[in-house]
Amino acid sequence: MATLTLALDAMGGDHGPSVVISALAQALTTFPEVHFIVVGDEAELTPLLQQQQLLQHPQITLKHASQTVTMTDKPGYSLRAKPDSSMRVALELVANETAAACVSAGNTGALMTKAYFTLKTLPGILRPALMSAIPQQQGKLAFMLDLGANPVCDSDTLFQFGVMGAEAAHQVLKIERPRVALLNMGEEEIKGNDVVKATAALLQASEHIDYIGFIEGDDLFSGKADVIVCDGFVGNIALKSCEGLADLLLDNIKSNINAHWLTRWFVKLFYQRLQKSWDWLKPDHYNGASLIGLRGVVIKSHGDANARAFFSAIEQAVEEAQRDLPGRIRDRVEQVLLAQE
Amino acid sequence: MATLTLALDAMGGDHGPSVVISALAQALTTFPEVHFIVVGDEAELTPLLQQQQLLQHPQITLKHASQTVTMTDKPGYSLRAKPDSSMRVALELVANETAAACVSAGNTGALMTKAYFTLKTLPGILRPALMSAIPQQQGKLAFMLDLGANPVCDSDTLFQFGVMGAEAAHQVLKIERPRVALLNMGEEEIKGNDVVKATAALLQASEHIDYIGFIEGDDLFSGKADVIVCDGFVGNIALKSCEGLADLLLDNIKSNINAHWLTRWFVKLFYQRLQKSWDWLKPDHYNGASLIGLRGVVIKSHGDANARAFFSAIEQAVEEAQRDLPGRIRDRVEQVLLAQE
């Protein structure tokens, strides 16, 4: 008996719908209580479902959409010119409450624009934010936001990101009182730009937030904070720079090790281990990013996602939908905004 | 016979003057043509020089300064209240052309403020920038700026950073036509904030710059660009985030390897190798950062620098002074600004 319905944009991502259908096959057994609406080109999806013997599966509904948003479509263009795209139809299933959540590996800019347009923000929320879990020392996780939905933010917006992130960390990461920090170029109060300083004042003044102050980039993974707030420009560049560094380190290890064959052999083994552990360190590859602050759950899976990664994004959508994260955020924001008046 | 004079702020840095004096001992033999003016508290420096048998050394002049800028002094305070600090006196030796360059491991904010105030910017230059070499794949180097001197920049300032960075890469990294890129949250032209877009237009329009467009954080170390331009807020957070990731990876490797003793032994060896290769990846620890755009060479060594690292900063100061980098930047900027008129 289905208690939750999820809409899957089957056409997004670099690797096409086969990745989505493989992830779906796994999700069916993991989540027997979830119903899946698979949105996309029927002619393309039918044989894929048939291959996996899922065509008449009771947990699956196939919903045709005649258009597909490409990875290079500009957000405004796709919004105007592709009203029947699989992405848009999946989002509308959430907007009209047929589905509780939507997962897409499609074009990030288009997804954000369409989600904002279709679902709207929660009452009082200025902007939705792209949020992801990032690894911390001792195997913990923290939420970081915004990661690219908003290249420019004012202090009210960043303050709300702190409130939303704290509620999400409480609900999803199960942290009783999440410690909220602002990412800055120094820990001293005088450092940074005017927006960051004004946001610090707002967070400091709110009784509903455990604000711990500024943190610098070198504390992004140290476990100091449970929620790390920044604008989308800084957040995107910080995490992508880390990806770049991981690539450089692998390159460096590969090219510098010229030693005894026994060492090389161990290095090879170790290198595979490193790569594996670094996959885990690239959260946008192997977990979905949440677009929060909207009237519904929207999970962005990485465009390059394989079936395992898309399955992680589905898992995250189920978790957020079951906990009604949008409802919890709405309540929390209402409470905080009322206290400010 | 001395052909070049360097001023060393002997009192800056977390580890005190002993680090500076040890680095100086090495520099004397490496650079027999350089004269060093060691600036700081005479009572503290005399026994240190005596220990190293450098007290009467013909390449050394000891210059007393009665005050020291601490690592926690606010820039404005140190400027007003410490006119006879070792940092200020060392900078003044450059300003009055007694020395061609100054090296300090002291408080970054204070150094930038004092350098700007004492040396002034080159004609036409809006703001000085903090620039550092960062490692690239295949063992190359690129220059990145600004790394924290200017938390907020307009497009004219960022454009000038591109011009200055290109000249520095040409002179110091010996790259014939340095490829200049702007750090952004996406490679497409529509991505980013207004300042980045306006800067792109300026760089694109200049015939004197090999502008290659936007790069994302994951290309920071890929070798795609020779000069990477961003504002100080973004640059500081990008590089510090990478430092944080390197720490996380070391922590992760240490805690996850529980295997056969032989494997552990190899891992231990390998771990030491990794740490060594990562030291090289932390350029601000082991090389100086240049404060460019000023009427003189100013090198900021990391506060945590050991003697080897401070020696690297001295090396860099010698290189920039010998090539008269400020003069070259002045000429290049003049040429570019004239072409714009």
> So what's the pLDDT on residue B274?
63
Peptide bond into B146 cis (omega under 30): yes
Interface test with A, best of B242, B250, B302 (most A CBs within 10 A): B242
Q: How far is B160 from chain A (nearest CA, A)?
A: 21
Give me the pLDDT at residue B108, please: 87
Answer yes or no: is pLDDT of A280 > 80: no
Q: Which A positions 202-221 lie with beta carbon below 8 A of chain B?
A: 216-221
3-state helix, strand, coil in chain B (%, to 5): 50, 20, 35
Q: What is the pLDDT of residue B313?
A: 93
pLDDT band at B263 (very low <50, low <70, confident <90, very high): low
Residue B270 has pLDDT above 80, yes or no: no
More confident residue, A84 or B274: A84
| Mean pLDDT in residue range A312-324 | 94
**Where does the pLDDT of residue B288 fall: very low under 50, low under 70, confident under 90, or very high at 90 and above?**
confident
Gyration radius from chain A CA atoms: 21
Q: Which of A176, A171, A129, A121 lies closest to A319 in space, CA to CA?
A: A171
pLDDT recorded at residue B71? 85
A window 276-295, beta carbon within 8 A of B: 277-278, 281
* pLDDT value of position A162: 97
pLDDT in tens, A47-69: 999 999 999 999 999 999 999 99
Q: Which of B30-34, B284-288, B298-302 has the lowest mean pLDDT?
A: B284-288
**What pLDDT, on a 0 to 100 scale, did the predictor assign at position A74?**
85
Predicted local distance difference test score (pLDDT) of residue A186? 78
Q: Specify the CATH architecture of the domain B1-124+293-323.
A: 3-Layer(aba) Sandwich (3.40)
- Coil, helix or strand for B138? helix
Average pLDDT over residues B132-157: 91
Exposure string (b/e) for A75-114, b if CB count within 10 Å is 16 or more?
beebbeebeebbbbbbbbbbbeeebbbbbbbbbbbbbbbb
Is the pLDDT at B280 greater than 60? The verdict is no
Beta strands in chain B (DSSP E): 4-9, 34-40, 60-64, 101-104, 129-135, 141-145, 179-183, 210-215, 227-229, 289-292, 297-300
- Report CB contact under 8 Å: A244, B222: yes
pLDDT at A254: 66
Q: What is the pLDDT of residue A274?
A: 63
SS3 category, A28 = helix
Flag if A243 and B151 touch (Cβ within 8 Å). Answer: no
- Out of 3.40.720.10, 3.40.718.10, 3.80.10.10, 3.40.1280.10, select the CATH number for domain A1-125+293-324: 3.40.718.10
Nearest in space to A330 (alpha carbons), one of A301, A292, A279: A292
| Contact between A217 and B241 using a beta-carbon 8 Å cutoff | yes
Checking if the pLDDT of B269 tops 90, the result is: no
List, edge to edge, every strand of the sheet that includes B141-145.
Answer: B60-64, B34-40, B4-9, B101-104, B297-300, B289-292, B129-135, B141-145, B227-229, B179-183, B210-215
Q: Is A272 on the interface with B (CB under 8 A)?
A: no
Q: For residue B192, how many other CB atoms are within 10 A of its CB?
A: 24
Residue B276: Cβ within 10 Å count: 10
How many Cα neighbours within 13 Å face the side chain of B29? 5
Nearest CA-CA distance, residue B133 and chain A, Å: 14
Q: Is a pLDDT exceeding 90 seen at residue A341?
A: no
Query: When comparing pLDDT for B264 and B68, which is higher?
Result: B68
Are the beta carbons of A152 and B193 separated by less than 8 Å? yes
B139 pLDDT more than 90 = no
Smallest Cα distance from B12 to chain A, Å:
19
Confidence class for position B153, pLDDT limits 50, 70, 90: very high
Averaged pLDDT, B285-311? 88
Q: Decide if pLDDT at B320 tops 90.
A: yes
Residue entry with tokens 């709300």: A160
> Can you tell me the mean pLDDT for B185-192?
75
Q: What is the pLDDT of residue B258?
A: 56
A72-126 pLDDT per residue, tens? 888 888 888 899 999 999 999 999 999 999 999 998 889 999 999 999 999 999 9
Residues of B in contact with A259 (CB under 8 A): none
Looking at the complex, does the CB of residue A229 fall below 8 Å from at least one CB of chain B?
no
Measured distance CA(B209)–CA(B175) in Å, rounded: 13
Nearest residue in B to A134, CA atom? B245
Substitution target from B240, B247, B255 for chain A, most A beta carbons within 10 A: B240
Per the prediction, chain A carries an average pLDDT of 89
Is the pLDDT score of B213 beyond 90?
yes
Q: Does B136 touch chain A (CB under 8 A)?
A: yes
Please check the confidence at residue A326 and state whether its pLDDT lies above 80.
Answer: yes
A24-to-A14, A32, A35, A57, A309 alpha-carbon distances in Å = 17, 12, 11, 11, 11
Q: From CA A167, how far away is CA A151, in angstroms rounded?
A: 23
| Any B CB within 8 A of A187 CB | no
For residue A24, count CB atoms less than 10 angstroms from its CB and return exposed for 0-12, middle for 13-18, buried for 19 or more: buried
Residue B14's pLDDT band (boundaries 50, 70, 90)?
confident
Average model confidence (pLDDT) across chain B: 89
How many cross-chain Cβ pairs, A to B, lie less than 8 Å apart? 182
How far apart are the C-alpha atoms of A306 and A289, rounded to whole Å? 15
Least trusted range by pLDDT, from A308-322, B4-18, B66-80, B310-324? B66-80
- Which DSSP string corresponds to B48-87? HHHHTT-TT-TTEEEEE-SB---TT--HHHHHHH-TTBHH
Query: Is the pLDDT score of A285 beyond 60?
Result: no
B299 has which bridge partners? B103, B290
Percentage of the residues of chain A whose pLDDT score is greater than 70: 88
A250 close contact with B: CB closer than 8 A: no
Whether B277 has a pLDDT exceeding 70, the answer reads no
Overall average pLDDT of the B135-143 stretch? 87
Q: According to the model, what pLDDT value does residue B76 have?
A: 84
Cα–Cα distance between A147 and A7 in angstroms, integer? 23
Nearest one of B270, B278, B276 to B253, comparing CA atoms = B270
Which runs of E-coded beta strand occur in A97-249? 101-104, 129-135, 141-145, 179-183, 210-215, 227-229
